[in-house]
Amino acid sequence: MSSLNLENYWMPFTANKSFKADPRMIVSANGMYYKSSDGRDILDGTAGLWCCNAGHAHPKIVEAVSSAIKTLDYVPGFQFGHSGVFELSRQLAEIFPTHLNHFFFTNSGSEAVDSALKIALAYQRSRGKGTKTRLIGREKGYHGVGFGGISVGGIVKNRMYYGSLLSGVDHLRHTHNPEKNSYSRGEVEQGAELANDLENLVALHDASNIAAVIVEPVAGSAGVLPPPKGYLKRLREICDAHDILLIFDEVITAFGRLGSNTAAECFAVEPDIITFAKGLTGGTVPMGGVAVRDNIYQSMIDNADAPIELFHGYTYSGHPLATAAALAALDAYKSEGLFSNSADLSSYFADAAHSLKGINHIVDIRTIGLIAGIELESRPGAAGQRGFEVMKGAWDKGLMVRVTGDILAFSPPLIVSKQDIDQIFDCIAEVIRSVS
């Protein structure tokens, strides 16, 4: 690897200068582990990037993709189809909420969000409510990196460099309140009343101008922020009262991360639209999608002003290889009981994470399902530096963790065992103790 030229590749969401001076290179992966370029096993504490839910190199997914590329490498999704994508849609309808039975496929979570926003706007117009164009996001929300996603998103660094973004967008306040909800397990106790921010926006703009509200049921990239008890149900009530669509961004939470098919199922709140990606294919082939309620799809079909009902799509929508990977991933999840394993281990996982309370520099720990966030105290004038050093220290000791500023995020593959969980948190405790 010493002769490899690292300069030409501009890495995403990465400190390029730092990485290229001290690279963390991966050469293979299997099960719960990556293999580093220097031959070390690296325990995957983050399912890659919240996506490798079935573990790495799962035999069913490997076989399915290998077979697919020999048979059908590509089909144009415009005016042509293949059986796999229709079968995938049927199977997703079986596990998604009752009334969300129609699926539009993308290549990523970012594209899924932009697609969902466009579908919401097109639907409102299709039913004669074309003034409903305003979109509502939330502070600290992450909805990918398309212009639509960062417009409704609420992470400052993702927005501040790119101008005025989409017009007609407002934001609810975030629900993070460490003073009242520190060291939480599951939904937090305080903050349900913040959903009433939506009522204030309705009073300001009138419901006749608001198309949709989009939130993450559990905010991930902002640092693992579970919802307050009753918050999502209150949003649903307000949306129903004012004829506003509710969109759940489940790019992280769908496919077993909370021990259920979706967060909508976990929290018993059915939105109008769900965006998903990551766990759909177990991270093996890029794919995302949008699930919509039946009435949305039917309105678009019945009220179309052209043979093409939705003027939107991607060259790789429903790609045969991605579809094969997704079908195999769903098979693995079901046949191996991986969502049940996630649910069964969530308490053990939370106990292990919260056992770190009291270690120097830790100011909060938040857990829900197989997700944990450990927040470190920021150094004066150097926010994010301590978290970055812990991430690098964990790599040196054989553990991959995700870091957002000074917040460490953990979301292991759903094949994780108690032994793996112990190893993850024993290692990170040791590293945190070693950092000044």
Q: What order of strands is seen across the sheet that includes strand 41-44?
A: 26-30, 33-36, 41-44, 399-400
Q: Say yes or no: 284 and 183 in one domain.
A: yes
The percentage of residues in the chain with a pLDDT greater than 90, rounded to a whole number, is 99
Low-confidence stretches of the chain (pLDDT < 50) are none
Q: Say yes or no: 257 and 298 in one domain.
A: yes
CA–CA separation, 436 and 429 (whole Å): 13
Range of the domain at 154: 63-335
Give the pLDDT score at 2.
Answer: 59
Q: Helix (H, G, I), strand (E, B), or coil: what is residue 17?
A: helix
Angle CA 249–188–340, to nearest 5 = 65
User: What's the predicted TM-score (pTM) here?
Assistant: 0.97
Q: Say yes or no: 326 and 407 in one domain.
A: no
Q: Say yes or no: 132 and 241 in one domain.
A: yes
How many structural domains does the chain have?
2
Q: State pLDDT tens for residues 108-154.
A: 999 999 999 999 999 999 999 999 999 999 999 999 999 999 999 99
Which of 273, 301, 335 is a domain's end point? 335
Q: Say yes or no: 240 and 301 in one domain.
A: yes
Tell me the CATH number at 176. 3.40.640.10
Is residue 2 domain-resident?
A: no
User: What ranges make up the beta strands (E) of 278-318?
Assistant: 288-293
